[in-house]
Amino acid sequence: MNDVFADRVVTGSEDRLAEMFGGSLGENGIKFSAGNPNSELFPIAQMKQAFNKAIDKSGSQIFEYQTVSGFEKLRERLAQWAGQTADINITADNILVTQGGQQALDLIGKLMLNAGDEIVVEAPTYVGALSAFDQYDPCYYDVEMDDDGINLEQLELVLQAHPNIKLLYTVPDFHNPTGVTLSFRKREKLVELAERYDFFILEDTPYRDLRYKGIKLPAIKSFDRHGRVLYVSSFSKILMPGLRVGWVAADKILIERLRKLKTSSDLETPGIVLAALDQYMENNDLSKHIAEMLPTYRSRLEAMLAVLDKTMPTDVRYTRPEGGFFIWLTLPEVIDAQKLLSEICIPKDRISFVPGKVFYAQRNRKNGMRLNFSGVDEEQIKVGITKLAKSIRSAITANKVGAVL
Ligand SMILES: Cc1ncc(COP(=O)(O)O)c(C=O)c1O
């Protein structure tokens, strides 16, 4: 059967996304594995109104084929939003609307990566990006994450050793999976390095507006003077993932090429969804909606950090994010998070997390785990993290007496 498939399907493209979620938890299970926004915060009534208005306004025309780049008016709004939220100075012509940020990642991979082309990714990094890039069979170079984002000394060594590196993929704000945010200094420096070593930066930032403490930082793209940064954002985390609307902001030449690739792939993003989103933004204040969600997420983050502080063994390290959806735990190196999940946490504790291996391009590290706090309430956090800490402690003790988990 394998001869039926193209090489990209047979080689190098194991399904990273499918690997993420492990077994079923049953009814009272607690899921720290999801990456979802809290659906109770979705503005359903307003969105229903927006869809109705979009249909009333345009009638059957809205169900015709539209334009591939997405509604001009919505793109104008997005350009304005990029200025307001990320200090990016662009116009509607610099924007392509996509089916979620995920399609943008895929199209950029398709645009830029021949088999064997060299790309730098953070270690760990967003599994969906690896899954998109895997299709194009690139050569990955991993660079470590520090508490303030990608390690620039290590990055520079990699760039010196591999002068053909084309692209660097980064999630600078409340990184998935670690929750870490790239510092101001490093944002500026990354653009300088891109100029000096002649590569492009893919800045993927769906969590950017979900900041619960600290000061907002300008986007990497705001430092870009020569069109080296492709900025990808999405409505999935700040509004609703089911809309499947994301967008790329980049130099017009790149946008034009991406538009052609999108046409070949799906013709366009559904016009009715874009028209409804445009209506939503016309009649509602998106910033206000985001501000109203923040206290819920902030309390969940604080609750999780408080229980972690209280219960985790001292040899377990974890990040202290200022926003987003995730906290990253690093266990002692001898512990395999995948085994902990499938042998103890799922069957006995009825809790789940995402074991770290899938977030590494080379799948070569097993002692990390991603915990989601946005989709669980404070009681679940207290009960679930206490159980997790207990199981980790037992695994560490068992390991010390020789029973490797
Ligand atoms: C860092 C990152 N990029 C992109 C995406 C894709 O999101 P969507 O396609 O829903 O916009 C996600 C989703 O979890 C993400 O975490």
Residue 246's pLDDT is: 97
Residue 405 within a domain: no
Q: Is 234 in the pocket of ligand 1 (CB under 6 A)?
A: yes
Give me ligand 1 centre to Cα 101, in Å: 5
Q: What's the CATH number where 302 sits? A: 3.90.1150.10
Which of 284, 308, 326 corresponds to the end of one domain? 284
Q: Give yes or no for residue 7 having a pLDDT over 90.
A: no
Can you give the residue range of the structural domain that contains 174?
Answer: 44-284
From 21, 96, 102, the mutation candidate for ligand 1 (largest count of ligand atoms within 8 A of CB) is: 102
Mean pLDDT of the chain: 93
Q: Give yes or no for residue 87 having a pLDDT over 90.
A: yes
136 and 219 assigned to the same domain: yes
Tokens of 368: 């990390």
| Number of helices and strands in the chain (H, E) | 13, 14
Q: Give yes or no for residue 17 having a pLDDT over 70.
A: no
Q: What Å distances lie between residue 401 and 312, 343, 394, 397, 398, CA to CA?
A: 20, 18, 11, 7, 5
Residue 27 pLDDT class (50, 70, 90 cuts): confident
Residue 3's pLDDT is: 80
Residue 201 within a domain: yes
130-166 pLDDT, tens digit each: 999 999 999 999 999 999 999 999 999 999 999 999 9
Residue 145's pLDDT is: 96
Sequence-distant (≥ 6) Cβ neighbours of residue 143 within 8 angstroms? 120, 121, 122, 123, 150, 151, 154, 155, 158
Q: Give yes or no for residue 309 having a pLDDT over 80.
A: yes
Q: What Å distances lie between residue 361 and 55, 102, 120, 133, CA to CA?
A: 44, 17, 10, 10
Q: Which amino acid residue places its CA nearest to atom 14 of ligand 1? A: 35
Residue 79 within a domain: yes
Residue 161's pLDDT is: 98
Q: Is 236 in the pocket of ligand 1 (CB under 6 A)?
A: yes
224 and 261 assigned to the same domain: yes
Q: Give yes or no for residue 326 having a pLDDT over 80.
A: yes
335 and 372 assigned to the same domain: yes
Residue 19 pLDDT class (50, 70, 90 cuts): low
Q: Give yes or no for residue 12 having a pLDDT over 90.
A: no
Residue 209 within a domain: yes
217 and 180 assigned to the same domain: yes
Q: Which atom of ligand 1 is nearest to the CA of 244?
A: 10
259-295 pLDDT, tens digit each: 999 999 999 899 999 999 999 999 999 999 999 999 9
Only one residue has tokens 């590494």, namely: 360
Q: Is 204 in the pocket of ligand 1 (CB under 6 A)?
A: yes
200-219 pLDDT, tens digit each: 999 999 999 999 999 999 99
24 and 65 assigned to the same domain: no
Q: Which atom of ligand 1 is nearest to the CA of 101?
A: 11
Q: What is the DSSP string of 358-385?
A: GGSTT----SEEEEE-TTS-HHHHHHHH
391 and 255 assigned to the same domain: no
Which of 284, 307, 326 corresponds to the end of one domain? 284
From 33, 36, 42, 204, the mutation candidate for ligand 1 (largest count of ligand atoms within 8 A of CB) is: 204
Give me ligand 1 centre to Cα 208, in Å: 12
Q: What Å distances lie between residue 161 and 139, 145, 156, CA to CA?
A: 14, 19, 9
Residue 351 pLDDT class (50, 70, 90 cuts): very high
132 and 208 assigned to the same domain: yes
Total Cβ atoms within 10 A of residue 337: 25
Residue 15's pLDDT is: 65
Phi, psi angles (nearest 5°) of residue 232: -115, 130
48 and 38 assigned to the same domain: no
Residue 394 pLDDT class (50, 70, 90 cuts): very high
Q: Which atom of ligand 1 is nearest to the CA of 245?
A: 11
Residue 311 within a domain: yes
CB 205 within 8 A of CB 180: no
172 and 261 assigned to the same domain: yes
Q: Which atom of ligand 1 is nearest to the CA of 171?
A: 1
Residue 319 within a domain: yes
167-196 pLDDT, tens digit each: 999 999 999 999 999 999 999 999 999 999
Coil, strand, or helix at residue 214?
coil
Which of 284, 300, 317 corresponds to the end of one domain? 284
Q: What percent of the chain has pLDDT over 70?
A: 94
Residue 333 within a domain: yes
Q: Is 179 in the pocket of ligand 1 (CB under 6 A)?
A: no
26 and 123 assigned to the same domain: no
Q: Which atom of ligand 1 is nearest to the CA of 241?
A: 10
Only one residue has tokens 């891109």, namely: 194
75 and 9 assigned to the same domain: no
Residue 58's pLDDT is: 87
390 and 273 assigned to the same domain: no
Helix axes 100-112, 127-134, angle to 10 degrees: 40
Total domains in the chain come to 2
Residue 69 within a domain: yes
Q: Is 199 in the pocket of ligand 1 (CB under 6 A)?
A: no
Give me ligand 1 centre to Cα 333, in Å: 29
Q: Is 133 in the pocket of ligand 1 (CB under 6 A)?
A: no
Question: Average pLDDT for residues 64-76, to the nearest whole number?
Answer: 82
Q: Which of residues 144 and 3 earns the better pLDDT score?
A: 144
